[in-house]
Amino acid sequence: MDRFVTLNHGSGGRQTNDLIRELFARNFAMDMPLTDSAIVTFGGKKVAFTTDSYVIDPIFFPGGDIGKLAVCGTVNDLAVSGAIPGYISASFIIEEGFPIDELSRIAESMAREAVNAGVRIVTGDTKVVGKGKCDRIFINTAGTGVLLREGLDVSTASAVKPGDRLIVNGSLGNHSIAVLGSRNNLSFTTPVLSDCASLNHLTTKLLSECNGIRFMRDLTRGGLAGVLNELSSMCRRGIIIEETTLPVDEPVRGACEMLGFDPLYLANEGKLIVVVEENEVLKVLDILRSDPLGRNAAVIGEIAAVEKGKVILTTVTGGKRIVDMPEGVQLPRIC
Amino acid sequence: MKFIDGYRDRDLTDRLARQIRKAAAGTYTFMEVCGGHTAAIRRFGIHSLLPEGIRLISGPGCPVCVTGKGFVDRLSVYAGLKDVIITLYGDLMRIPGSGGRSLEKARAEGADVRIVFSSLDALSTARNNPGKKVIFAGIGFETTAPGTAAALQIAYRENISNFMVISAHKIMPPAMEAILKEGTRLNGFICPGHVAAITGSGIFDFIPRNYGIGCVVSGFEPADILLSVLMLISQVNANQPSTEIQYNRVVTEKGNLVAKEVMNEVFESCDTEWRGLGLIGGSGLIIRKKYERHDAESVIQVKVVESPDDGHCICGDILRGLREPSDCGLFGKACNPGEPVGACMVSEEGTCHTWHKYRLSDG
């Protein structure tokens, strides 16, 4: 392992996984596989429990802000675990000199998103550090929610079988490009909005009305590529996706072409992947497409009996290639 | 994007692949010089559409891959100085210098290293940080050199004295010639489209004339590359090597005269070291005396100690088209995109990186 932590350790790719597995999970004797939420038992009830920290530059970006993100992110981690999010904590690490009016905009935004998601923010903490000791503001949220039904498991991929289909609820990469485009040191702007949204109403509807959902995961830092690689190694199956079916908005594609980024690796904050048995595909698509958060839902591929542990992409020209686990932060290219 | 989609059209690429299969008689080895082409070929799985007799090998046109370790070491030393901000293109972050030390690691240890998208962003960084010296890492071929030159002209004109450049800029034709002189056997070059957009296709004319090897200046979409392959096959079959432009929506014979003038006003040619290829005469661009006060190497003199390369890395042979990444014992093991040993594993456009990232399902 490296002697120092680099930004790659926080990119949600292989280095992040290595750090978590080799350093944290081992010391904490955590159960494998690691999923978005831990499922714990309280008084005989299965409860999902999760936490996440939010550090983003800029803190206000098109389509959201760090506060909205902090609520949605934790809500989504609970939602894709099959839980109904209930209570959330909110802790703030604030840099000395941070404007109070911006803090109140963030708090209002969190309150609004909590109402949207139907969760209550019930506890929290505030710390202020000296100038330069943190980048403006960091937020940590933790959340709990009761599992939708006893024995529900859509996180460990244990039920995933060859022939199951992969569905995403909409366009990929908008969050990454919106945030990148709004950084003030960059000389390009985009009309793209972050997809930052709470997905719990959507997941509750899906899990209540369909019995054939085998796996769900929100697509955050490591993008679709990261999640599919984790999925293929968890279920020990191959995954085949079709490039032509991937929903990517035109401005995002344009930005990717210019910067040399691959939309498969871009972060999202309001997207999930659903693995569903074949005969429920239409039902899932119907439910997704009738919701504003799933209007561009698409079937993007399937679980295969071959190519165990690999993710294969059929390209637009019919060629085939592997989609690897993201390696570090995507770096913009020279020319 | 509609403009791009036309060149990714499946019917069109299928038709071109069929024509290639029909035209191909025997074996052909073509070198794609530019890293952008290597990445596109792998990303779209173009090699899986070609008949067996056609081999596409990657050349020295990934700027990160051919940048000497000494340059990274020098940047690391600058990065460690007080009140210095290093500005660079993203792909430079991860190139290992001596002892595997990269700018990414320097940043983790506290250096102020910032990714920029253009030389003009670096210039803005200098304007916004008057108390600091802002050093821009000038890297790349004829595509990016005019941008660096333009930033230097502005800095000179507006007397932005804290803006400096360290130049590792290179030009393409001498490296292509060096490869031919070293005996790499080729039937044609897929020539770099964006270099030629600046220089014009004329800079490649000496290759068919002196070496009897065809050159097709190609675009970067699947249909562009397939059509370029078809054009090269036709040249070989007819035994009529010449310089042709496939990428004619961007490239002309004469190129961008303004960009060339800016580049020549600021830079002059020099001999320079290419990682893997060694010293190539007249292949580098150094900053002219007039701009000396913005030349980091003349303004801030530092001592740089370079340690020898990892003896097991075969990047040099890969850059010359002599061996492939799978021939390397480190490939995919000790050397991977997260922890690159050789420079070809660093850039998204490096041969080893693209092989690793887009490797075929059959290995």
The pLDDT tens digits for B226-265 are 999 999 999 999 999 999 999 999 999 999 999 999 999 9
State the pLDDT confidence band at B53, using cuts at 50, 70 and 90.
Answer: very high
User: What CA–CA distance (Å, rounded) separates B346 from B354?
Assistant: 10
Does A333 contact B117 at a Cβ distance shorter than 8 Å?
A: no
Domain parsing of chain A, residue ranges: 33-147, 165-322
User: What CA–CA distance (Å, rounded) separates B233 from B25?
Assistant: 9
Residue B10, pLDDT > 60, answer yes
User: What CA–CA distance (Å, rounded) separates A141 from A51?
Assistant: 6
Interface with B, mutate which of A252, A315, A322 (most B CBs under 10 A): A315
pLDDT tens digits, B91-100: 888 888 888 8
Does A257 contact B144 at a Cβ distance shorter than 8 Å?
A: no
Q: Looking at the DSSP assignment, which residues form a beta bridge with residue B215?
A: B189, B243
User: What CA–CA distance (Å, rounded) separates A245 from A166?
Assistant: 11
Residue B311, pLDDT > 80, answer no
State the pLDDT confidence band at B363, using cuts at 50, 70 and 90.
Answer: very low
Of A22-26, A285-289, B13-17, B283-287, the poorest mean pLDDT is in A22-26
Interface with A, mutate which of B102, B104, B120, B144 (most A CBs under 10 A): B104
pLDDT tens digits, A205-262: 999 999 999 999 999 988 999 999 999 999 999 999 999 999 999 999 988 888 888 9
State the pLDDT confidence band at B361, using cuts at 50, 70 and 90.
Answer: very low
Does B90 contact A333 at a Cβ distance shorter than 8 Å?
A: yes
Task: Say if CB A88 and CB A116 are below 8 A apart.
Answer: no
Q: Tell me the residue type at A129.
A: V
Q: In the A/B pair of chains, how many CB contacts fall below 8 A?
A: 127
Chain B hits for A259, CB-CB cut-off 8 Å, are: 117
Which CATH homologous superfamily contains domain A165-322? PurM-like C-terminal domain (3.90.650.10)
Query: Which CATH number applies to B67-171+257-299: 3.30.70.20, 3.40.50.150, 3.40.50.11740, 3.20.20.70?
Result: 3.40.50.11740
| Chain B nearest C-alpha distance from A37 (Å) | 27
Does B46 contact A317 at a Cβ distance shorter than 8 Å?
A: yes
* CB nearest B44 (choices: A250, A319, A334): A319
Residues 14-53 of A with CB under 8 A from B: 14-15
Query: Residue range A53-82: average pLDDT?
Result: 96
Residue B343, pLDDT > 80, answer no
Residue B360, pLDDT > 80, answer no
pLDDT tens digits, B101-119: 889 889 988 999 999 989 9
Say whether A165-322 and A33-147 share the same fold. no
Residue B173, pLDDT > 60, answer yes
Residue A269, pLDDT > 60, answer yes
Does B144 contact A8 at a Cβ distance shorter than 8 Å?
A: no
State the pLDDT confidence band at B318, using cuts at 50, 70 and 90.
Answer: confident
Shortest CA distance from A262: residue in chain B = B43
Query: Residue range A168-175: average pLDDT?
Result: 97
Query: Residue range A38-45: average pLDDT?
Result: 89
Cis peptide before A58 (omega within 30 of 0): yes
Does B117 contact A187 at a Cβ distance shorter than 8 Å?
A: yes
Chain B touched by A242 (CB under 8 Å): no
Cis peptide before B63 (omega within 30 of 0): no
DSSP codes joined into one string, A183-234:
-TT-S----PPP-----HHHHHHHHHH-S-EEEEEE--TTHHHHHHHHHHHH
Q: The domain at A33-147 falls in which architecture?
A: 2-Layer Sandwich (3.30)
Shortest CA distance from A328: residue in chain B = B338
Q: Looking at the DSSP assignment, which residues form a beta bridge with residue A53?
A: A140
| Chain B nearest C-alpha distance from A323 (Å) | 7
Query: Residue range B44-52: average pLDDT?
Result: 89
For B334, counting Cβ atoms within 10 Å of its Cβ (0-12 exposed, 13-18 middle, 19+ buried), the class is middle
State the pLDDT confidence band at A81, using cuts at 50, 70 and 90.
Answer: very high
Domain parsing of chain B, residue ranges: 67-171+257-299
CA neighbor of A117 nearest in space, from A94, A84, A154, A90: A84
| Chain B nearest C-alpha distance from A3 (Å) | 10
User: What CA–CA distance (Å, rounded) separates A217 from A231?
Assistant: 9
CA neighbor of B7 nearest in space, from B229, B247, B251: B247
Residue B140, pLDDT > 80, answer yes
| Chain B nearest C-alpha distance from A315 (Å) | 6
Does B117 contact A320 at a Cβ distance shorter than 8 Å?
A: no
CA A60 to chain centre: 19
Shortest CA distance from A5: residue in chain B = B108
pLDDT tens digits, B190-217: 999 999 999 999 999 999 999 999 999 9
Shortest CA distance from B88: residue in chain A = A334
Query: Residue range A293-300: average pLDDT?
Result: 97
- Show Cβ contacts of residue B362 under 8 Å, excluding neighbours closer than 6 positions: none
Shortest CA distance from A238: residue in chain B = B361
- Mean pLDDT estimate for chain A: 92
ipTM: 0.72
* CB nearest B48 (choices: A5, A8, A319): A319
Q: Going edge to edge, which strands form the sheet with A45-54?
A: A38-42, A45-54, A137-147, A83-95, A120-129
pLDDT over 90 percentage in chain B: 67
Return the higher-pLDDT residue of A48 and B318: A48
Supply φ then ψ for residue A78, to 5 degrees.
-70, -45
Query: Residue range B160-187: average pLDDT?
Result: 94
Strands B54-61 and B28-34 turn out to be: parallel
Q: How far is CA A177 from CA A181, A254, A256, A269, B91, in A?
A: 6, 10, 8, 12, 18
